[in-house]
Structure 1
C-alpha cells in the first residue's frame, strides 16, 4: 500500500495561490508581461482541486483509482511550482534592477534587447496555458471519482495552550526497572569484571526509554565514576564503533582512523574507572564486530562496570550478554490506556469524560502495547473532547492497512493522517535527516522557512514565530523528541514513517532504492572526509532539486 501524501499537494497549492496574488506578480500584470486572466484561471483551478484533497486522501485508502489520481496530480502541482518559481525569479530580478541605481546601465542594455524579455514572458504564458489544460483534466476526473468538497476527515488542529506542563511519563516499567537497577548496582552481577545488560524488544516498545530511566537514576549516577551514552545503529565496523565510544567519553571530535591509537586513547580514558556505557539501538549482526566490542569492554573495565545494550535482535543479545537477557514486553492494555490518556488529557482526569474513556480504551487496545503508538495518538487527541472525532480514529480503515514495510505502525500513520497540511509538510521534510541525527530547533525552522514550507507573511518575526509553533506542535505530538543533549531527534519508526510518506520527493542519497531522482526536491547526503564527484553522479538527472544538505552523525 503506497499512500500519497495529500499534504504535499495541499500545502503547495496554497503557496502557489499566494504567489499568484502577490505584489510581485501584480506588478507583472500591470506591465502586461503576463496574461492576467490566464493566471487567475490557473489560481481558480488550483483552488477547485484543493477543496477535494481531504476527501481524496481518505478515499485513496480503499480506491486505487483515487490513489493514482492523487499521484499524477502531485507531479503536475510540483511542475506548477517550478514554473511559478521561474517567473518569481524574473520578477525579483526586475524589482532589484528597478531599485538599485547601480543597475541603470544594465537596464539600458536590456532596453536594446526587448525581444529577449518579451520572449521569456511569451514562453511563460504558453507554459501556463499547457499547465492549465493538464490541471483541467483532473477537475473533470474528480466528479467521476466521486470526490466531494469538504467531505474528508477533520484534521487535528493546534493543541490549545495550557499552563499545565505535561511531564514525561512512563507506565508499566517499574518492576523491570527495579530488577535491572539491582543488577547495575551489584559489583558481582557476572563472572566478568564488566557486565552486559541486554534489553531486547520490538521497535516502539520503549527500550531506549527504559535505558534512559536507568541511566538517569540518582542511585545509578552515584555508583559509577564515568557514564557515557552512544547511539550505534549506524555503525558497522570496529573503527567506527571505537571512535563513537571514545567521542562519547571525551565529548571531543576524534579524527584518527588508526584502530590501535583509538584503542589506546580509550584505554587511557577508562583506566581505573568504574563505568556505565549505554549502546543504544545496536543493529550490527557481525559476530566478529560484536565479539570485538565485548572483549574491548571486558579488557578495559574495572570490576562492577556495566554496559547496557538495547536492540531488536535477540541474536545480538545472545552474543553480548553475560547476565540474563531482559526481553521487554508490550504494555498491558491498562498501562497503554494510562499512557494514552496522560498525553490526551494532560493532568485532567479522564473520568470526567466517561464516553471518551470508553472509546479511548478501545483505541489503546489497537496500539498493541506499544508506548510510542500510545504517545503519538494521545498527542493527536490532546484537548479534543469531540467523541465523533475519537470514534473516527477508532474506526479508521488505516488500522487495517498492510504497508509495504512492516515498520510502519498503523497508529503512527493515523497520527500523520490527521495532521494539518502545513504540519505534514514540515514533518515529511525532516525525512532528509538520517536516523539518530540530532538537529537543532532553530536550524530546522530556518530550513523550513528557506524552503517556503511556512506561509508567507510580511513580518519576518511573525513568520519565524509561526515556524516555532509548528515545531513545538510536532514535538507535543511525539513526532519530534528531545534528545539526551540539547537537540531533537526522530524515533526510528517515526523516521520510517516520514520517509514512507515523502518517497519520490525527499531523499537521503545513501538510502536511495533506485537511480530515479528526476522528481526529487529535497536531498541530503552523509558528509565524508572526501566528497568527490563520482559520489554525486546519480544526481545528474535531478532537475527539480531545491535542497542539497550535507549531514553527519558526528556532532562535532
Structure 2
C-alpha cells in the first residue's frame, strides 16, 4: 500500500527524534543542529518514499537506495534508544532510596565520555542521512500524498464463467450456499451471505459454481456478477452492477444521482442474485450507501460477498459467514495430477506419484497453491525437477502473476503499514508454531512495532488490537484459548508469504554454515541443539542483531554457555533474547550491559540456580519470564530497579517474597507466580502495583494466604488462582474492612482450591457489574455462594462445576429448570 513498510519505519524514527528526552540532551550538549538536520532530511525523504516503493522493482538503484535508507533508519533508532536508556538509568540513580553503592552499581560510564560518544554517533548519522537525501534527486522521485488506494499489485478483474469439470472438492460447499440462497427469510427482502477465507482458497471459484448452477438460474429473475476489488467507490460499483444487468448501454457519463435512480429501477420488484466478488473495503459507511440502493429487489433477493476479511463479513453479512474450509488431501491430489498430467500419466510413473504426494502436502489444502505447483510441472517427467519443487520453499519458486504468492501478497499489500511490520516479524517462528497473543504482542512492543499516539492507551491493548486485525484478515488460523490467552497458527503459505516479504529483516538459522545477510536483524534458531558451542562464523561479523529466539515444538533450547556469552557480548543492540527451554547453569554477568534489551525469557530452564544481580541494570526490560525455572533459589535482590517491567513470570524456591522487591514495580501489568512449591507468603507491599491488570497465582502448594492489600490493586481486571491446595482466601476478622476492595474484575477463575469452603465476598464486591467471565472448578469443599454470584448465572461465561458440596449452584438449578 501507499503507507509502506519503510514509510512506517521512517514515521517511527521521526517520532522518536522528537522525543522530549532527546530534545533536552541535544540542547544541553549543543547537538540541536545535527538533530534538526537529521529530522529535516528524513521528512524530505519520507515525502518521496511512497513513490520510491512503487518504483523499486523497476530500478535496481532505487532498490539499493531504499536498503541503505533502511539501515540508516534502524541505526538512528538505536542511537535514539540509547538516549532513552540513559534517561531510565538516571531515574534509578536519582531515586531517593538509592545508596552510594547502588549509584556506583548503575554508573556505566563517565558523563563526559557518554556525551562525547553520543555526539559522535549523532554526527555520523547526520552525514549518512545527508548522503542518502542527496542521492534521491537522481531518481526523479516525486512527493506523494498519503493515499490508501495505491496498491503495488492489483488482482485482475474476475468474471462469472467457469468449467465445473475443472473444480474438485467443492460440491458440498456449493450445495450449502445454494440451499441458503433458495430459502426465504422472514422480514428481509434481501439477504447477504459472506464467503470468507485466505487468498487462493477458492472463494471466487465457489461463487462461480453457485452462480452458474441450474437451480439458481431457475430461481432468480436476474443474475449479476461484479468484481469489486480494492476500489469500493459508490459510483464505480453502481456502474459495474448496471453493466452486468444490461448490455449496450453506457453509464460512465452519468452523475451519481442518475446512477442511483437507474440502479433502483433496474432492480425494482425483481428477485435478483448479486455476486460481489473480492471485497476489501472495511468502511461501513460505503457499504451502507450501496446497501440502501439494493433493497428494492423482490423478496428472496440475495447477495453473495467474497472477501478475505472477517471484518467485511461482519459489516455486510445478514447471515453467518461461510468460512471456506481447506481442501482435503485426497481432493488436492486429484487437482494436482489433473494440472500436472491431465489426470492420467501419474498411473504410469509411481515415483512421480510419490513425489507428487509430498509436494501436495506443502500446499496444506489451498487449491491455488496446488494449481500453481501442478502447473509448474505440467508435462515435466524428469524426477529431479519434481524433487526440486518438493525440496524448496514455495516462496523461492518462480511464479506468474496469477499464482498463489501473488494472490496472497495482495492481502499483505492491503495491510496498513503498522500491521505489515508486525506480520513480517512473525516469520521468525517456525512453521506450525503455536503463537500466543500476549507473547506476540510483547515481542512487537519490544521491537517498537506497537505505537501509541495517546498516553491513555495501553500498549498491550493496541497490540491486541493489531493481533485481532491480522486474525480478521485471515493471516492467522486454528484458534483456541489456553490459560486465558488466545493460541493460533499461521497457514504454511501465509508463513511463506512472511518469509518472502521479510527476506532482509528476519532469518531462521538452521545450520552453523548458513550464510546470513548483514542486514538481517532478527534471528531465530529452530534447531538449537544442532548449533556449535561457539557462535557460528556467519554470526561473528553481525553487530546489529535485535532478536535472538530459539523456541520450537520440541521444547529444546540453546544449551551452550559459550554461545550465550558470545551473543550477549556481541549483540549489544538486542531487544529480544529468548532462551526458553535452554539448559545452562550460569547466565553471564555481562547480561547487564544489554541496555536496549526489552524481552528476556529463561522460561523452562530447569538448571539455573541463581541470576546475576547485574540483570537488575536492565532498566529498559519490559518482559522477564522465569516460569518453570525449577532450580531458581531466589529472585535478584535488586529487582525493584527494573523499573520498566510490564510482564513478570516467576518460579522460585523462596518461602516468601520480600517487601521492597516486586511491589516496587509500579509499571507492572501482568504478574504470574507459579510452580513455587515452597512459597508460603507473597510480598506485603502489593498495593504498589497500581497498574497491574492480570494476576495469576498457580501451583503454589504451600501458599496459605494472600496479602490483604491485594484489594488495593485498582487496575486489576483478571484474577486466576489455580491448584493452591493450602490457600485460604478468607481474610482474618477485621481485615475485611481494613482495605476496601478497589478493583472491578472482568474475569475471575478459582480452580482446585480444597481450602475454599466459604466464597470470599471481597473477591467480587466491586465486580458485580463488570464481571464477564467467572469459572469456579474443582473446589470440592465449597458449600455456598453469595447471592450476588447466584444472580450472575445468566452471564454467558459463568461456569461452576465439580463442586460436589455446593448447595446453591445456580448453574445446576438453571439446568434443572
Output the TM-score relative to the length of structure 2.
0.38
Partner of residue 112 from structure 2, selected from 113, 118, 121: 118
Q: Match for residue 127 of structure 1? A: 121
Q: Match for residue 14 of structure 1? A: 11
SS in 2 for 1:487: strand
Cα deviation, 1:311-342, whole Å, max 9, x if unaligned, reads xxxxxxxxxxxxxxxxxxx936725999x999
Partner of residue 26 from structure 1, selected from 23, 36, 42: 23
CA distance in 2, matches of 1:513, 1:363: 48
Q: Match for residue 91 of structure 2? A: 95
Moved more, 102-111 or 46-55: 102-111
**Superposed CA RMSD:** 4.8
Change in CA separation of 1:433 and 1:379 when aligned onto 2, cut-off 3 Å: farther
SS in 1 for 2:458: helix
Residue 46 (str. 1) matches residue 48 (str. 2): no
CA distance in 2, matches of 1:24, 1:530: 44
Q: Assess if the C-alpha contact under 8 Å between 1:436 and 1:492 holds in 2.
A: yes
Partner of residue 405 from structure 1, selected from 397, 405, 410: 397
CA distance in 2, matches of 1:109, 1:176: 69
Cα deviation, 1:506-554, whole Å, max 9, x if unaligned, reads 1112289942353322222225568662575543333111211222135
CA distance in 1, matches of 2:238, 2:550: 50
CA distance in 2, matches of 1:460, 1:555: 38
CA distance in 2, matches of 1:337, 1:535: 60
Cα deviation, 1:327-359, whole Å, max 9, x if unaligned, reads xxx936725999x999989xx9x9994446679
Partner of residue 36 from structure 1, selected from 15, 32, 35: 32
CA distance in 1, matches of 2:174, 2:34: 70
* Displacement after TM superposition at 1:9 (Å): 2.7
* Displacement after TM superposition at 1:426 (Å): 0.5
Partner of residue 146 from structure 1, selected from 134, 140, 143: 140
Moved more, 507-516 or 86-95: 507-516
CA distance in 2, matches of 1:58, 1:68: 14
Q: Assess if the C-alpha contact under 8 Å between 1:337 and 1:364 holds in 2.
A: no
CA distance in 1, matches of 2:106, 2:535: 41
Q: Match for residue 762 of structure 2? A: none
* Displacement after TM superposition at 1:156 (Å): 8.6
Q: Match for residue 487 of structure 2? A: 487
Q: Match for residue 515 of structure 1? A: 515
Q: Match for residue 241 of structure 1? A: none
CA distance in 2, matches of 1:517, 1:427: 20
Change in CA separation of 1:427 and 1:155 when aligned onto 2, cut-off 3 Å: farther
* Displacement after TM superposition at 1:422 (Å): 0.9
Change in CA separation of 1:172 and 1:344 when aligned onto 2, cut-off 3 Å: farther
Change in CA separation of 1:537 and 1:141 when aligned onto 2, cut-off 3 Å: closer
Change in CA separation of 1:108 and 1:512 when aligned onto 2, cut-off 3 Å: closer
Aligned ranges 1:194-205 → 2 under 5 Å: none
* Displacement after TM superposition at 1:47 (Å): 1.9
Change in CA separation of 1:126 and 1:462 when aligned onto 2, cut-off 3 Å: same
SS in 1 for 2:525: strand
Partner of residue 331 from structure 1, selected from 195, 202, 205: 205
Aligned ranges 1:28-427 → 2 under 5 Å: 28-30=25-27, 32-33=28-29, 35-102=31-98, 104=100, 116-150=110-144, 154=148, 173-175=169-171, 206=201, 331=205, 334=208, 353-355=237-239, 375-376=307-308, 405-406=397-398, 409-427=405-423
CA distance in 1, matches of 2:536, 2:210: 46
SS in 2 for 1:409: helix
Cα deviation, 1:185-214, whole Å, max 9, x if unaligned, reads xxxxxxxxxxxxxxxxxx97549x9xxxxx
* Displacement after TM superposition at 1:431 (Å): 0.8
CA distance in 2, matches of 1:343, 1:475: 22
Q: Assess if the C-alpha contact under 8 Å between 2:89 and 2:106 holds in 1.
A: no
CA distance in 2, matches of 1:483, 1:123: 49
Q: Assess if the C-alpha contact under 8 Å between 1:517 and 1:539 holds in 2.
A: no
SS in 1 for 2:549: strand
Change in CA separation of 1:80 and 1:539 when aligned onto 2, cut-off 3 Å: same
Cα deviation, 1:456-497, whole Å, max 9, x if unaligned, reads 456475322211111111111112224477522212221111
Q: Assess if the C-alpha contact under 8 Å between 1:9 and 1:77 holds in 2.
A: no
CA distance in 2, matches of 1:511, 1:459: 44
Q: Assess if the C-alpha contact under 8 Å between 2:3 and 2:146 holds in 1.
A: no
SS in 2 for 1:102: coil
Number of residue pairs matched by the alignment:
364
CA distance in 2, matches of 1:521, 1:453: 14
* Displacement after TM superposition at 1:429 (Å): 0.5
CA distance in 2, matches of 1:125, 1:351: 56
Moved more, 429-438 or 121-130: 121-130
CA distance in 2, matches of 1:332, 1:509: 40
Moved more, 484-493 or 34-43: 484-493
* Displacement after TM superposition at 1:6 (Å): 8.1
Q: Assess if the C-alpha contact under 8 Å between 1:7 and 1:425 holds in 2.
A: no
Q: Assess if the C-alpha contact under 8 Å between 1:522 and 1:548 holds in 2.
A: yes
Q: Assess if the C-alpha contact under 8 Å between 2:444 and 2:450 holds in 1.
A: yes
SS in 1 for 2:550: strand
* Displacement after TM superposition at 1:445 (Å): 1.0
CA distance in 2, matches of 1:108, 1:90: 15
Q: Which runs of 5+ in 1 are unaligned?
A: 158-170, 180-202, 210-329, 366-373, 385-401
* Displacement after TM superposition at 1:375 (Å): 4.6
Q: Match for residue 540 of structure 2? A: 540
* Displacement after TM superposition at 1:135 (Å): 1.3
SS in 2 for 1:533: coil
Cα deviation, 1:96-126, whole Å, max 9, x if unaligned, reads 2122541545668999x99x32232223222
* Displacement after TM superposition at 1:439 (Å): 0.6
Q: Match for residue 551 of structure 1? A: 551
SS in 2 for 1:331: helix
CA distance in 2, matches of 1:383, 1:149: 35
Q: Assess if the C-alpha contact under 8 Å between 1:507 and 1:522 holds in 2.
A: yes
CA distance in 2, matches of 1:335, 1:139: 54
